[in-house]
Chains A and B, each alone.
Chain A
Amino acid sequence: AQRVTQPEKLLSVFKGAPVELKCNYSYSGSPELFWYVQYSRQRLQLLLRHISRESIKGFTADLNKGETSFHLKKPFAQEEDSAMYYCALRDSSYKLIFGSGTRLLVRP
């Protein structure tokens, strides 16, 4: 079954600390993975996708097929990074399957 798991509901770090938001997936085919961010009471915004191998706002994510993971990382967290982060997998029918989300709280 297709599934995206984000084991942490809340991750709290201090400003300047490294951040890693965990995401594991279950998918029988070749996955296409995304990270979305939702700032307080706003729309979900695409943060990055694994195909692009890009860094957005200092965040990166590497697809590890062996561990079926797509963890989101940032070396130095900023207060403005506080938001909900959703990992998502797109299946062959182009549906996006979302994880339950992790709330990142960056304390000053």
Chain B
Amino acid sequence: DAGVIQSPRHEVTEMGQEVTLRCKPISGHNSLFWYRQTMMRGLELLIYFNNNVPIDDSGMPEDRFSAKMPNASFSTLKIQPSEPRDSAVYFCASSPQDYGYTFGSGTRLTVV
């Protein structure tokens, strides 16, 4: 099992551009989570899905952020338009119902 796969590993973009982060969860895991990690705020849950359905998006900071999970094997987190304060490491994690999460390697986003 390759684990949770995120792409790209690094993304540098200019302010105002659209950014799309991708995640492939572990097969059979029915929950998927997007977290943002910064020095100032630590790990923040942005949104999570259960069986491909968004359950709680209260952590999504603004309307500029959106997330989708069109099927059980793929999810995207989109920022449009991006701003410098969005610079962070974005982690995706998946989980079966009764265990801890498995995290991906993260996408390090830099908005200049």
- Is A40 interfacial (CB-CB < 8 Å)? no
Chain A residues with CB below 8 A from B106, complex form: 43
Chain B residues with CB below 8 A from A46, complex form: 100-102
Tally of A-B residue pairs with Cβ under 8 A? 44
- Is B97 interfacial (CB-CB < 8 Å)? yes
Of the listed stretches B14-22, B42-50, B60-68, name the one at the interface; the rest are far from the partner chain: B42-50
Categorize the interface residue count of chain B. Answer: 20 to 34
Q: Which of B43, B56, B91 contacts A93 (CB 8 A)?
A: B56
- The 13 sampled A-B contact pairs (Cβ below 8 Å) are A42-B105, A43-B104, A45-B103, A46-B100, A46-B102, A86-B43, A90-B100, A93-B55, A94-B48, A94-B95, A96-B33, A96-B101, A98-B42
Residue of A nearest to B101 (CB): A96
**In the bound complex, CA of A100 to CA of B43 (Å):** 7
Chain B residues with CB below 8 A from A95, complex form: 33, 45, 48, 56
- Is A34 interfacial (CB-CB < 8 Å)? yes
- Is A101 interfacial (CB-CB < 8 Å)? yes
| CB of B61 to closest CB in A, whole Å | 17
**In the bound complex, CA of A66 to CA of B52 (Å):** 38
- Is A74 interfacial (CB-CB < 8 Å)? no
